[in-house]
Structure 1
Amino acid sequence: MLRTLLIAFGIAEIAKPQPVIDACERIGLENAEDAQLRPWARWGARLEGAIFVWLLARRKSKWTPTCVLLAAAGAVLVFVPQPIINYSQRLVYANHDELQSKSWVKPAARLLGVLYLTVVTLSKTGRETDTDDDAT
């Protein structure tokens, strides 16, 4: 069920990234109305959604570079979120130095890290039986 919900979220993020970006801005920024998105920000959100769908739809999968990077980003977000918060704001917003983070941006970033780690974990487990195991 969780896998299906996350795949649906990924598809929605691919199709319409702006509502996801708007929600993140409302959660993390005091002055979200002043945020000036860079042109590639929506494509970054779409990429995140595509990674979710790709990893989760594959069911039980091997460790890929994408999976390793998502797990590493998730772990960093959980344990030391500030560097990624700073980097992502510089990457996504033209006026990053004018934006004011809300007090709960770190806990929200940690939750995002948990989400990334959940996607990785779900991508490593599947309900389908492996045909190689059945043959032995």
Structure 2
Amino acid sequence: MLRELLIGFGVVEILKPEPIIRLCERIGLRNPGAAERRPLALTGARLEGLVFVWVLVHGRQGSTLVSALLGVAGLTLVLVPRPIIELSQHLVYADTDRLEVQPWVVPAARLLGVLYLTVTLLSRRTGTEPTDEDRNDADRCSRCRRLCSG
């Protein structure tokens, strides 16, 4: 169920990134109305949503590199969030000197890192390796085919 919820979030972020960005600005900035967003901010949010959906739907088979990059980003956010916060501010906002960051931005960034790691871990469970039940079904089918043909 968590996987479906995160896929849904990713789809919303792809289709309607503006409300999500505004929410994050209200959480992270004391002066969200004064922030001047760069034009690519919406594209960045859509890309994040696309990565979530891609990794969760395709699992390890279709996205090893993307999943690894998301995991590294998540681990970095958990361990040393400040450089990532500063980098993302410079990518998203044209006027970073005017931003008044809330004191809980670092813990929020760490939680975002945990979210990235969660998506990465969930993607590992969606691999196409057959389960024991799949193998048993395949064995039954092949036995049935041999009986019917012979």
Look up the equivalent residue of 1:50 and give its one-letter code: L
Task: Please identify, of 43-52 and 58-67, the stretch whose mean Cα deviation from structure 2 is larger.
Answer: 58-67
1:87-112 per-position Cα deviation (integer Å, ceiling 9, x unaligned)? 00001000111101100000000000
Counting aligned pairs with the same residue, the percent is 56
1:71-124 per-position Cα deviation (integer Å, ceiling 9, x unaligned)? 000001001100000000001000111101100000000000000000000000
Following the alignment from structure 1 to structure 2, what is the Cα–Cα distance between the partners of residues 26 and 44?
Answer: 18
Query: Of the two, which has the highest radius of gyration?
Result: 2
Following the alignment from structure 1 to structure 2, what is the Cα–Cα distance between the partners of residues 127 and 117?
Answer: 17
> Paired residue for 1:53?
53
Q: CA deviation at 1:60?
A: 5.0
Following the alignment from structure 2 to structure 1, what is the Cα–Cα distance between the partners of residues 77 and 34?
Answer: 25
> Paired residue for 1:8?
8
Look up the equivalent residue of 1:116 and give its one-letter code: Y
Look up the equivalent residue of 1:25 and give its one-letter code: E
Following the alignment from structure 1 to structure 2, what is the Cα–Cα distance between the partners of residues 93 and 24?
Answer: 13
Compute the TM-score of the two structures, normalised by the length of structure 2: 0.84
**Cα contact 1:30–1:101 (8 A) shared by 2:** yes
Compute the TM-score of the two structures, normalised by the length of structure 1: 0.92
Following the alignment from structure 2 to structure 1, what is the Cα–Cα distance between the partners of residues 26 and 42?
Answer: 16
Runs of 4+ in 1 over 6 A off after TM superposition: none
5+ long unaligned stretches in structure 1: none
5+ long unaligned stretches in structure 2: 140-150
Higher relative contact order (CA 8 A, sep 6+): 1
> Paired residue for 1:97?
97
RMSD value over aligned CA atoms? 2.2
1:109 aligns with 2:109: yes
